[in-house]
Amino acid sequence: MNEVRGTWFDGDRSKGSSARLHWSASAVTVIADEGLSLSVDREELQVSSPLPGTPTRITFGGKESFVTGDGAGVERLRESLALNPGLAGRVERHMPVVLAAAALVVAMLAGLAFRGVPALAARLAVTVPEEISAQVSGVLMSQLDVFLEPSSIAPERREELERYFLSHGEVATIEFREAGIFGANAVTLGATMIAFSDELVELAESDEELLAVYFHELGHARLRHVEQNVFRASAWLVMLAVLTGDIGAVGELLVGLPLSVGLAANSREFEREADAFAVDRLIEAGLSPMHLATILQKLEAYHLRRRDQENSTDDGDSGQTPDAGGEEGSTSYSPLDYLSSHPPTEERVAYARSRMNEFE
Amino acid sequence: MIDSENSGSSTIDTSGEQQFTTEQFAFHGSGSDYFRIWIVNMLFTILTLGIYSAWAKVRTKRYFYGNTELAGDRFEYLASPIAILKGRLIAVAALLAYTFAGYISIAAGWITFALLLALIPLAVVQSLRFNSSNSAWRGVRFGFDGGHRQAYPPHLFWPLFGVATLGFGLPFAWYKINRFQYDHYRFGTTRSTSSATVRGFYGIGISVFAATIVIFMLAIVLMFSIGILTAMIGGGESQLPAEVEATLAVFPGFLFVYASVAAIYQAMFYNLVFNNIEFGGNRLRNSISIEYVLLILSNTFLIVVTLGFFYPWAAVRRARYLMANIRLEARQLDSFAAGEFDHISAQGEEIGEAFDLGLGF
């Protein structure tokens, strides 16, 4: 039967009339129950793409429309007029295909998160000119300075350390600050800036230990980890905006969870790379990789001690050592917040030890 | 007409000065149908690196509009995906500019922020025009007549005033926004009018504030007891980094507070706004109850435990509940006349979405 029943709207007034749409090889006609009959041009005929369980809207090049909930009838119309239901319409129809699509979506999202986005970020990070990077470092440092005090270490001692570090690998700026509640720490703020806290300088018992920390940070700087993280976060943001545009606020909150877990995982991987870089450089300089292990162990003991003190004084409040980066946690690095984004100290010490054979 | 067996109750009320029939809205969508659409949308969006998201959006909206029925006829969403794609590209560019400017210099960050803030009222108007003029019922399109300049006081000045007064002025800003929007919608050539009062919006502000405090305290007690319980049971060293662990521990409590407060706010807001709208003598009536909060909480819980896969069913449940609680006191529905329709760029709407202004008709 070349006919489908539905409702006819003239597009002028909000009143529909019961009608049927009739088609043959040569003509399409709409016949309203009230007697109106309208022949329409097949070329102008537009049938909305099929959506499961949703009425179909047919227009004829003007403001008039014919709406029908008769899915089977529309199916016959599509067939006899050779109308394309569209790819989405065809895929949605078959549940096994839909389930395969679901599996594919999960696999591709994981692929994007763990491979695609990091690879893209790594490629983009190396294209950032050093001047831009220095500018970013300046902004991050000024944001950090809100929480920090000027260094109280004697200027001569600072200059001595700076000269010592720079003789092993140049970076534009080395900063020293009194970190207060953040304690012993060091951060990389881009490709050209590394900052040490006074507390860290005091904690180290030899300059070689500080050099090991410097090499670790230099690893972050040279491998462009800060820039990579900026690009990763931006890529995530765009991805989430595009994928969850229709989900709304609670949905965004939900995708925010894997995001924060993902960023923590990223930073662990960056820490391992920076440790490897530091060990390479120590060996190159004819120094033992164990200098890195020593300072890492001291830092762990130091922060555990601080945590216990905090717990016994304010009774409660999580003893977690904040990253000196504060809110910028994902864009700056320290070897110290091993409690969070860093691999366990034991593992890092074992790594340094495993490379002792290269040093002799 | 479509699904006339479902067209809702039609009771005649003769007590008023004029007779009206009550027309119940209804949502006919199903979770499994929407799941098909949703997952295929997601697949194509990823495969096309985001380009398809504009088509995806049109299919989603067509599904939700096409399954919403009033007086025997369904609503229609008629937007072109190309218009949405253009807007989406501009919105993504703005989002990236905003993200990167702050890294280059603090001043550049603030300037970009101020610039985007100044553009919000324009984006809101574009968005309202685009969405409304692409929505139709019985072949007649909706529309929005609010001007760009008129949008600045309600969408920029009064919200800033609300923030500057530490929130005390915020309900007044909501009132101004509501007036601006619902006094400028039209169906065909017929304007809508809103009679929601300042008092009503202050009622919402105070209730939501009080509810937030109560729910927050409830969440703390709840998490504290869960914390003690797990400490008693577990106690072993965890392999997860502490940051992840802390997120996992705080997240449920945060989500609970966030979802319940959002639901209470929405329920009260819908009731106030939709109970005070009139289109040419036809009045909307809305009656959402506390049930809505339970619905949103259970939706949120199920979305979390299914890692997001419950979302299509959650969206359908919500739409079904909202439509089951809104009706129209209809005096005449057959003689709305269509106006000339204009084509509006989707850009405003996309910027609205990327920055989550929470717009919606």
Segment 144-203 of chain A within 8 Å of chain B by CB: none
Q: What is the pLDDT of residues B214-246, one digit of tens each?
A: 988 888 887 777 666 655 555 444 444 554 555
Taken as a whole, chain A contains a residue count of: 360
* pTM of the model as a whole: 0.80
Q: What is the pLDDT of residues B239-288, one digit of tens each?
A: 445 545 555 667 777 788 888 898 999 999 999 999 999 988 889 999 99
Q: Categorize the per-residue pLDDT at B184 as very low, low, confident or very high, splitting at 50, 70 and 90.
A: very high
Q: What is the pLDDT of residues A65-89, one digit of tens each?
A: 899 998 889 988 888 888 888 888 8
Q: Of B197, B356, B212, nearest to B293 (Cα)?
A: B212
CB A105 to CB B353 under 8 A? no
Chain A residue numbers with beta carbons less than 8 Å from the beta carbon of B91 are: 241
User: Which of A140-144, A331-335, B288-292 has the least mean pLDDT?
Assistant: A331-335
- Written as six digits, the tokens of B249 are 């521990």
3-state SS string over B298-358? HHHHHHHHCCCCCHHHHHHHHHHHHHHCEEEEECCCCCCECCCCCCCCCHHHHHHHHCCCC
Q: Categorize the per-residue pLDDT at A317 as very low, low, confident or very high, splitting at 50, 70 and 90.
A: very low
B262 in contact with A, Cβ within 8 Å: yes
Q: Categorize the per-residue pLDDT at B76 as very low, low, confident or very high, splitting at 50, 70 and 90.
A: very high
Collapse the DSSP code of B14 into the 3-class scheme (helix H, G, I; strand E, B; otherwise coil) and give the result.
coil
Q: What is the pLDDT of residues A101-132, one digit of tens each?
A: 999 988 988 888 788 888 998 999 989 888 88
Arch. (CATH architecture) of A3-93: Roll (2.30)
Q: What is the pLDDT of residues A177-207, one digit of tens each?
A: 988 777 888 888 888 888 998 988 888 889 9
The yes-or-no verdict on residue A265 having pLDDT over 70 is: no
The yes-or-no verdict on residue A38 having pLDDT over 60 is: yes
CA dist A62 to A11, A59, B135, B260, Å?
9, 7, 17, 47
The yes-or-no verdict on residue B88 having pLDDT over 60 is: yes
**Residue A5: partners with Cβ closer than 8 Å, 6 or more residues away:** A18, A19, A20, A68, A70, A73
B100 in contact with A, Cβ within 8 Å: yes
- B270/B89 Cα distance (integer angstroms): 32
For every residue of B222-238, DSSP letters joined together read HHHHHHHHHHHH--SPP
**How much is the pLDDT for A253?**
53
CA dist B150 to A144, A207, B33, B170, B172, Å?
41, 66, 41, 19, 17
Chain B residue numbers with beta carbons less than 8 Å from the beta carbon of A57 are: 76
Q: Of B93, B113, B91, nearest to B102 (Cα)?
A: B113
Mean pLDDT computed over B198-211: 94
Q: Rounded to an integer, what is the distance from CA B247 to the centroid of its chain?
A: 27
**How much is the pLDDT for A337?**
43
Strands laid side by side in the A149-150 sheet? A149-150, A173-178, A193-197, A186-188
Mean pLDDT computed over A269-287: 90
**How much is the pLDDT for A326?**
33
A307 within 8 A of A321, measured Cβ to Cβ: yes
Q: Token pair 């945590």 is at which residue? A: A307
Domain membership of residue B218 (yes or no) is yes
**How much is the pLDDT for A254?**
56
CB A88 to CB B140 under 8 A? no
Domain(s) labelled CATH 2.30.29.30 in chain A stretch across: 3-93
A42 in contact with B, Cβ within 8 Å: no
Domain membership of residue B90 (yes or no) is no
CB A234 to CB B241 under 8 A? no
Radius of gyration (Cα) for chain B, nearest Å?
23
The domain total for chain B is: 1
Q: Categorize the per-residue pLDDT at A299 as very low, low, confident or very high, splitting at 50, 70 and 90.
A: confident
Q: How many CB pairs under 8 A join A and B?
A: 205
Mean pLDDT computed over A304-324: 54
Residue to mutate among B3, B35, B42, B53, with most A CBs inside 10 A, is B42
Mean pLDDT computed over A244-256: 53
Chain A residue numbers with beta carbons less than 8 Å from the beta carbon of B26 are: none
Q: What number of H helices and E strands is found in chain A?
A: 12, 11
- Written as six digits, the tokens of B295 are 């619905």
- Written as six digits, the tokens of A14 are 């909000």
Q: Categorize the per-residue pLDDT at B339 as very low, low, confident or very high, splitting at 50, 70 and 90.
A: low
Chain A residue numbers with beta carbons less than 8 Å from the beta carbon of B59 are: 49, 51, 88
**Sign of the alpha-carbon torsion through A119, A121, A124, A129:** negative
Chain A residue numbers with beta carbons less than 8 Å from the beta carbon of B262 are: 249-250
Chain B residue numbers with beta carbons less than 8 Å from the beta carbon of A270 are: none
Parent domain of B218: 197-274+288-324
ipTM over the 0.85 cut-off: no
Chain A residue numbers with beta carbons less than 8 Å from the beta carbon of B102 are: 139
Q: Categorize the per-residue pLDDT at B317 as very low, low, confident or very high, splitting at 50, 70 and 90.
A: very high
**How much is the pLDDT for B295?**
93
A134 in contact with B, Cβ within 8 Å: no
Chain A residue numbers with beta carbons less than 8 Å from the beta carbon of B100 are: 230, 234
**How much is the pLDDT for B252?**
76
Domain membership of residue B229 (yes or no) is yes
Q: CA neighbours within 13 Å on the CB side: how many for B29?
A: 33
**How much is the pLDDT for B350?**
57
Domain membership of residue B147 (yes or no) is no
Mean pLDDT computed over B33-38: 93
Domain membership of residue B255 (yes or no) is yes
Mean pLDDT computed over A262-291: 84
- Written as six digits, the tokens of A18 are 């019961």
Which of B67, B246, B335 faces A53 most closely, judged by CB atoms? B67
- Plot region of A54 (φ>0 → left; ψ -120 to 50 → alpha; else → beta): beta
Which of B43, B258, B353 faces A105 most closely, judged by CB atoms? B43
- A130/A134 Cα distance (integer angstroms): 6
CB A243 to CB B45 under 8 A? yes
A197 within 8 A of A184, measured Cβ to Cβ: yes
**Residue A63: partners with Cβ closer than 8 Å, 6 or more residues away:** A10, A11, A12, B139, B338
B355 in contact with A, Cβ within 8 Å: no
Q: What residues form DSSP beta bridges with B23?
A: B328
- Written as six digits, the tokens of B216 are 């927050």
The yes-or-no verdict on residue B59 having pLDDT over 80 is: yes
- The minimum CA-CA distance between A354 and chain B, rounded to whole Å, is 22
Q: DSSP strand E in A171-217: where?
A: 173-178, 186-188, 193-197
